[in-house]
Amino acid sequence: MNLDQTEIHLSVIIVCEKDQWEFLFDTIATVEDCLDIVDEVLIATSHFLSYDDEEFLSYFSGKGYIICQFDDNLSRANVLNLSIKKALGKYIFPLLAKNKINSNYLSDAVDILENKPNIGVIYGDIELFGENNKIQVLPDFSEVQLLRQNFINLSSLFRKQVWEDCGGFDVNIQTQTEFEWKFWLSAVENNWDFFHFPKVLLYQRIILDQGVPKNQNKQEIQKHPLVSVCIPTFNGDRFIAEAISSILSQTYPTLEIIVADDGSTDQTVAIIKTFQDKTSIDISLFSHQPLGLAQNCNFALSKAQGKYIKFLFQDDLLSPNCITELVKIAEKDNEIGLVFSPREICFVDEVAETDSDLISIYQEFQNIHQAWSSLKPIQRGEELLKDPHLFKHPINKIGEPSTVLIRREFFEKIGGFDPKLNQLVDLDLWLRIMGNYKVGFVNQVLSYFRLHTHQKTYQNISENLSTDLKFYQKVYSHPVYHFLPSSVRDRALCIYTINLNHFYLYFSDYSSGTFLENLRQLRREVAEYWLKQLLPEEFQTKPSSYFKIVYRILLRNKSLRAEPLTESEQIFVQSLINTITNSSANYQRTGVILALMLYPNSTQFSLTSDLISIPKGLYENLIDWIKIGDFNLVLKQ
């Protein structure tokens, strides 16, 4: 330690509060391991000490440590300001007495400040010890991320000039994390650069609550159910380190990480492997041939052991308290199938900020949870399915998988993600969970959805696949959605028809054969609906307004009507004509005519004018159809 008052580079300030005296010697021992780089040590503590504690201070003072004693009523921000003001070093490293310095890398961090004058703050990773042991790998610096949450520990290396430029720590903010956060934000405002040192600089002691027996606290930790964090990856080396770091920074104590890599060809797998050696949290990495996103998610699920599943996509982030808050709600009711929360959408870079499609996503999907008519902390999923806004924009009001916590046992009952779907794969799963279980909601931002031009959502928009026809087709036709009211399924049919008709008419150069085939199938299904209406009383249960829209869209699609009938369609149309010809009951013939109106035909047949009532709203369509001349229809008096 520098005692001859030559130039002082590094001052370490040890803040020793009353409940940390028992750890002071351990802390100072780690400081003394790096006296070749530490020029000055200040111990900031209380004026009101016991005789033994005063003896300790006298001992340290004799060794050259500077003792700073303050009134107990001063806040930590005040104590730090007064101590830093007294310090002579041009670099400052604050240290709480319960923690320790990693002497192996401190000199390397100082060298960076010496050689890069634009860098004002260096922060490193943190190794927890005591009642909880793990490594917190912090993300590389991002101003956007710092605006969302503080991820920089007080025990970081910074220039004294930074402290002066910021006007010190704000003594008007009493909360420790808040005044630290404001200090770092002030450094950004003063144009100082930050540097993430990718090694452990701080050992942080975890102390359980005072007055509670240690064995009791260990029992409480064991009571936390295991949460499996599943990360499906594919060529995500740009983001995966930050994503995993946000998991390692969780306040929730019992986690496992399952990484399912879908055949990445970049450095994704190599980056993940570096984390396996840095943390006590179990990180299982599975690499396999490409399966696609949905099947890769299901693969990760198959490897999970936790009571709950928490998905995190490779380009998203979690707030430190995310899993804690979600599990807190899930544990209140065993019938809860999923818990979700709002997420914040943000751009990853300037390219994303100027992309019109991403800007549109940002503007339209920022607060999707607010689209629910009524959202409660815990409610039956059936209540949400009855929401009149269910299929109104935005259709996915839950959010992406990174926003959701799911009870694992329910996957075995309802299945996982459907790989046959292209878009809205997550919404399909959310709806199936809502149809069978309760839903929990935490009203605070707990995750971050980052926008960039390489993500699946962006690619689907660019390829005109942002509306998934298969999803809506599944909702209206698949028996798995038996729990939905018929009106909701008819609305899904209507959305499917509108979009399918649009793609067929305006994207004829792209997969027009598939669109035409789907339209033929839909036309057949609608025709067969009318064929089931063979009894007069059936028409008293009028088709929904959504079904009428579907029918009219098919009637008015001239391009579809101009398409030559396939062989099977010719047989079907002929059977309809034969039914009309051979039937004497007009009510029976009415359903056939409504079906026949969907197809082009030149056959002449007659129908008496005592035709029974056509469903309200469709009689005009029948008259228009007669006028079109597709059929040479003669009405007998």
Same domain, 308 and 422: yes
Q: How far is CA 437 from the centre of its chain?
A: 21
Q: Hey, what are 592's tokens?
A: 């056939």
In a domain, 213, yes or no: no
The neighbour count for residue 120, using CB atoms within 10 Å, is: 24
* Of the candidates 605, 597, 546, 563, the residue with the CA atom closest to the CA atom of residue 581: 605
* Of the candidates 131, 133, 302, 324, the residue with the CA atom closest to the CA atom of residue 227: 324
Q: Hey, what are 604's tokens?
A: 């002449």
CB 341 within 8 A of CB 443: yes
In a domain, 2, yes or no: no
Residue 273: which CATH number?
3.90.550.10
**Between vectors from CA 607 to CA 521 and to CA 528, what angle results, nearest 5°?**
20
Same domain, 189 and 242: no
Examine the fold and report which residue of 420, 438, 473 is the final residue of a domain before the chain moves on: 473
Q: What is the 3-state secondary structure (H, E, C) of 568-616?
A: HHHHHHHHHHHHHHHCCCHHHHHHHHHHHCCCCCCCEEEEECCCCCCCC
Instruction: With H, G, I as helix, E, B as strand and everything else as coil, classify residue 134.
Output: strand
Please report the pLDDT score of residue 23 as a whole number: 83
CB 431 within 8 A of CB 481: yes
* Of the candidates 136, 132, 137, 108, the residue with the CA atom closest to the CA atom of residue 122: 108
Total domains in the fold of the chain: 3
In a domain, 222, yes or no: no
Residue carrying structure tokens 């699609």 = 557
CA dist 121 and 201 (Å) reads 13
CA dist 68 and 490 (Å) reads 75
Please report the pLDDT score of residue 632 as a whole number: 39
Q: What are the b/e assignments for 472-500, b being 16+ CB within 10 Å?
A: bbbbbeeebbeebeeebbbbbbbbbbeeb
Q: What are the b/e assignments for 137-170, b being 16+ CB within 10 Å?
A: bbbebbeebbeebbbbbbbbbbbbebbebbebbb
Please report the pLDDT score of residue 352 as a whole number: 81
CA dist 618 and 620 (Å) reads 5
Please report the pLDDT score of residue 267 as a whole number: 94
Exposed (0-12), middle (13-18) or buried (19+): which is 575, by Cβ within 10 Å?
A: exposed
Examine the fold and report which residue of 439, 473, 507 is the final residue of a domain before the chain moves on: 473
Same domain, 408 and 550: no
Q: Which CA distances in Å does 346 have to 144, 351, 363, 402, 600?
A: 8, 12, 11, 14, 52
Examine the fold and report which residue of 415, 440, 473 is the final residue of a domain before the chain moves on: 473
The neighbour count for residue 604, using CB atoms within 10 Å, is: 10
Same domain, 425 and 567: no
Same domain, 557 and 439: no
The domain in which residue 302 lies consists of 227-473
In a domain, 3, yes or no: no
Please report the pLDDT score of residue 637 as a whole number: 37
**Between vectors from CA 172 to CA 170 and to CA 175, what angle results, nearest 5°?**
85
Same domain, 164 and 262: no
Residue carrying structure tokens 């950004």 = 188
Query: Which residues lie below 8 Å from residue 40, measured CB to CB, with a gap of 6+?
Result: 1, 2, 8, 10, 11, 12, 66, 87, 88, 89
Q: Hey, what are 573's tokens?
A: 């149309």
Q: Where do the DSSP E strands lie in 320-446?
A: 336-340, 343-347, 378-380, 404-407, 438-441
Q: How far is CA 429 from the centre of its chain?
A: 15
In a domain, 284, yes or no: yes
Query: Which residues lie below 8 Å from residue 456, measured CB to CB, with a gap of 6+?
Result: 293
Please report the pLDDT score of residue 387 as a whole number: 94
- From first CA to last CA, the distance across the chain in angstroms is 116
CB 22 within 8 A of CB 51: no
Please report the pLDDT score of residue 496 as a whole number: 93
CA dist 37 and 91 (Å) reads 11
Instruction: With H, G, I as helix, E, B as strand and everything else as coil, classify residue 195.
Output: strand
In a domain, 38, yes or no: yes
Q: Hey, what are 433's tokens?
A: 């969970």
Q: Where do the DSSP E strands lie in 243-322?
A: 255-261, 282-287, 308-311, 316-318
Exposed (0-12), middle (13-18) or buried (19+): which is 393, by Cβ within 10 Å?
A: exposed
Q: Which CA distances in Å does 234 have to 4, 164, 231, 260, 420?
A: 58, 45, 10, 9, 19
Same domain, 402 and 547: no
Which residues in the chain come in under a pLDDT of 50? Answer: 1-5, 209-218, 220-221, 466, 510-511, 538-540, 604-613, 625-637
* Of the candidates 93, 280, 81, the residue with the CA atom closest to the CA atom of residue 201: 93
Please report the pLDDT score of residue 541 as a whole number: 56
Q: Which amino acid is at 494?
A: C
In a domain, 479, yes or no: no
Same domain, 506 and 417: no
Same domain, 509 and 455: no
CA dist 502 and 497 (Å) reads 8
Please say whether the dihedral angle defined by the alpha carbons of residues 578, 580, 581 and 585, taken in this order, is positive or negative.
positive
The neighbour count for residue 615, using CB atoms within 10 Å, is: 20
Give bridge partners of residue 193 from the DSSP assignment: 119
Same domain, 269 and 189: no
Same domain, 70 and 178: yes
Same domain, 247 and 386: yes
In a domain, 371, yes or no: yes
State the pairing for strand pair 227-233/134-136.
unpaired
Q: How far is CA 409 from the centre of its chain?
A: 21
* Of the candidates 249, 245, 272, the residue with the CA atom closest to the CA atom of residue 260: 272
- Is the backbone peptide bond immediately before 394 cis, with ω within 30 degrees of 0? yes
CB 409 within 8 A of CB 474: no
